[in-house]
Structure 1
Amino acid sequence: MRPGRRSMTTAQSPGSPITMIDRVASLLQVFDGHPRLTLAQIARQADLPRSSAHRILQRLVELGWVERQGYQYRLGLRMFELGSKVVQRERLHQACLPFMYALHRSTGLTVHLSTLLSGEVLHLERIGDWPERGETWRPGGRQPAAHSAAGRAILAHLTEADWPDLTFPPPATVYGVRTRTQLRRDLERVRDRGGVAVDVQGCTAGITAVAASIGPSGGSLRAALSLCGPAETVPVQEAGDAVRIAAMDIWYAASGLTRRPARVPAITRAC
């Protein structure tokens, strides 16, 4: 490379995506501690040219991230909405942990907290060491929503119009869901069971899982609590009752509502 010539990997052009993201971030950060600011104040505090700040603000106003009132700007309702979702998710996570530990102690099964992410479920938390192998069952692991009990528990709480784009990769076993028609039939069974989804070796050979959605039908939370264990030892009915009760208790705790927690039934696993 010639001396004095800068590589595109080490320098960004003014209109590059990374540079633009940095500018938007620096602009939004100036609102921390300042409810309303003028264009001149925003440009000065964000260290941006006035024309650039004005152009970015105009686009953020169109998107609802920023609102303009006369000569002043403030954060918009879209930012509040996104922030509220983060707070709700964190509140849910903190509310879940005591119930997840109690559920693990009373059942001896592994407990997962999962959320719907596009067409997959993402496992956020796990209490229990089994299964020892299988990356898709660990925190951070993903499974197709149509294949997993947690995914189907969440989907059963949504109208089909609200479903994300679902994929139907070849299931790991002959018991897995293969088509949208099969999925619809399974979701009807989930609703008939009071919102409890059951997967017997459909997602992974040798594993049975039961799950219940957390929160009301049609809500924006899209999270589920599930139990899993060796297929030959999990008592499906008792495990389903336990996870449904715990999911309801978690929702009340996360919402700050007073409710006497129901007693989670102890489970006697088959030998």
Structure 2
Amino acid sequence: MTTAQSQGSPITMIDRVASLLQVFDGQPRLTLAQIARQAELPRSSAHRILQRLVELGWLEREGYQYRLGLRMFELGSKVVQRERLHQACLPFMYALHRSTGLTVHLSALVSGEVLHLERIGDWPKKGEGWRLGARQPAVHSAAGRAILAQLDEAQWPELAFPPAATVYGSHTMAQLRRDLERVRDRGGVALDVQGCSAGVTAVAAAIGPPAGNLRAALSLCGPAETTPTQEAGDTVRIAAMDIWYAASGVARRPTRPARRHDHPRGTARRHQPRLLTPPPPEATA
């Protein structure tokens, strides 16, 4: 072990940058001399790193003092947003699982794939693509298509069309565009009938409006032969919007109470999907 290592001094560039940034914990503004001393870095090395971090937007300089930059704030806010979304989702996901008996996934768009961030339910027991932490091609999955349907093509990540597990997946860009038009026609509900896995049907809806910029979706999956796609689609769409309201803190506009003449006898009223009420916190602990 070298002397520098034994004394705990930073020995790599990553170590040096980390040591430098850590000195801002609890100290909003610092001078070069203060940063170099607290990070235990040579003043010349600290100055060189600080200059580059300012150029990249990680730090900002005001006169002789440095402070954390907006780029750092942007990344930190994404972590806070993700955690807030996850906590807001859980009560609704448990309620969905109990009321439908289907497995519920919370997924996020990561590059050209969807990453399963949370899963409530244990079906299907087989299939690597459905486990917690697994990824699926966005073009094949209901969650991926629900998110892509909200975005302009210029906002899409680079998409790949790997061989689908079944003949029902999207194989070309033209086919994907047609699929996304159908998603929009269904009010944002994406349907995957055995596209990712044989025997599995999934329905999904993006969480929140396009301006919400969450790039996340809620989905239900179950056996292809028994999953009621219309009812499940209506339910997941409403739950996804409820989650967005809960996560964003935006107040939902009160809806006008239905009048008798709004629903002629024997028509739409009985087919309206039931709004989910999340259970009390102790029920999901």
1:1-271 equivalent positions in 2, closer than 5 A:
19-259=12-252, 263-264=274-275
* Alignment-mate amino acid for residue 71 of structure 2: R
Q: Secondary structure at the match of 2:210?
A: coil
Q: Secondary structure at the match of 1:228?
A: strand
RMSD: 2.0
Give the distance between the partners of 2:15 and 2:275, measured in 1 at CA. Answer: 49
Give the distance between the partners of 2:15 and 2:162, measured in 1 at CA. Answer: 38
Contact kept in structure 2, 1:157 and 1:218, CA below 8 Å: no
Give the distance between the partners of 1:215 and 1:55, measured in 2 at CA. Answer: 43
Give the distance between the partners of 2:210 and 2:19, measured in 1 at CA. Answer: 38
Give the distance between the partners of 1:58 and 1:132, measured in 2 at CA. Answer: 52
TM-score by length of 2: 0.85
Q: Secondary structure at the match of 1:166?
A: coil
Structure 1 runs (4+) greater than 6 angstroms displaced: none
Q: Secondary structure at the match of 1:232?
A: coil
Which residue does 1:268 correspond to in 2? none
TM-score by length of 1: 0.89
Give the distance between the partners of 2:115 and 2:201, measured in 1 at CA. Answer: 18
Contact kept in structure 2, 1:159 and 1:218, CA below 8 Å: no
* Alignment-mate amino acid for residue 138 of structure 2: A
* Alignment-mate amino acid for residue 88 of structure 1: Q
Cα deviation for residue 132 of structure 1 reads 0.5
Cα deviation for residue 204 of structure 1 reads 0.8
Cα deviation for residue 218 of structure 1 reads 4.5
* Alignment-mate amino acid for residue 241 of structure 1: D
| Structure 1 unaligned spans of 5+ | 266-271
Give the distance between the partners of 2:77 and 2:244, measured in 1 at CA. Answer: 16
Cα deviation for residue 20 of structure 1 reads 1.0
Give the distance between the partners of 2:166 and 2:211, measured in 1 at CA. Answer: 31
- Output one character per residue of 1:159-187: Cα deviation in whole Å (capped at 9) or x when no partner: 10111111101101111110111111100
Give the distance between the partners of 1:263 and 1:42, measured in 2 at CA. Answer: 58
Cα deviation for residue 203 of structure 1 reads 1.0
* Alignment-mate amino acid for residue 264 of structure 1: L
Identity %: 83
- Output one character per residue of 1:48-106: Cα deviation in whole Å (capped at 9) or x when no partner: 11111111111111111100000000000111111111101000000000000001111
Give the distance between the partners of 2:112 and 2:62, measured in 1 at CA. Answer: 39
Which residue does 2:262 correspond to in 1? none
| Structure 2 unaligned spans of 5+ | 256-272, 277-285
